[in-house]
Amino acid sequence: MSSSTTIIPGTSGPSADRIIVALDRPDAASALALVASIPDLLWVKVGLELFCSAGPDVVRQLRGEGLRVFLDLKFHDIPATMAGACRSAARLGAELITVHACSGREALAAAQAGACEGAAQEGLEAPTLLAVTVLTSWDAARFRAELAMAESPEDYVPRLAALAGAA
């Protein structure tokens, strides 16, 4: 199992405020052990593997430890489901939540509204939604062949980013 670290772009201040440690672990016990081994840790990322094995309780545990949570589940669904998922994620206390930009303007707007609603229900600040445009695992040839995309990823990414920004 590996862990990666992300630097939050556009931030300044102490390093602990700008670094997110990915808890790419198979279970809550190993994720919490990693957390305990890093002094002054403020931010953690919970991805699909950990969330599927440990569920929402792991987010609650991490928040209970005073950590800020980046919930990286890359939601992509119909607008009502996106709203509900982001509402629930915000109620858990996730401060950063990933969504797929290719879900479309309506779904992205619904996700934002749901996140704001969920945070308000818990008396929390609204989380920031991060729109995923194209996964880094795609190369141009596979992108065109497997997805039947006429555009290259280099052209598609800014268009989706603009769509997400508008939503």
- Catalytic residues, which ones? 74
Are 153 and 143 within 8 A, CB to CB? yes
Question: Crossing angle, helix 105-121 and helix 79-92, to 10 degrees?
Answer: 30
SS (H, E, C) 121-139: HCCCCCCEEEEECCCCCCC
Residue 125 DSSP label:
P
Phi-psi region of 44 (alpha: psi -120 to 50; beta: other; left: phi over 0): beta
Partners of 96 in the β-ladder: 70, 128
Position 17: which residue type?
A: D
CB atoms within 10 A of CB 159: 12
Residue pointed to by tokens 């987010």: 59
Partners of 5 in the β-ladder: 21
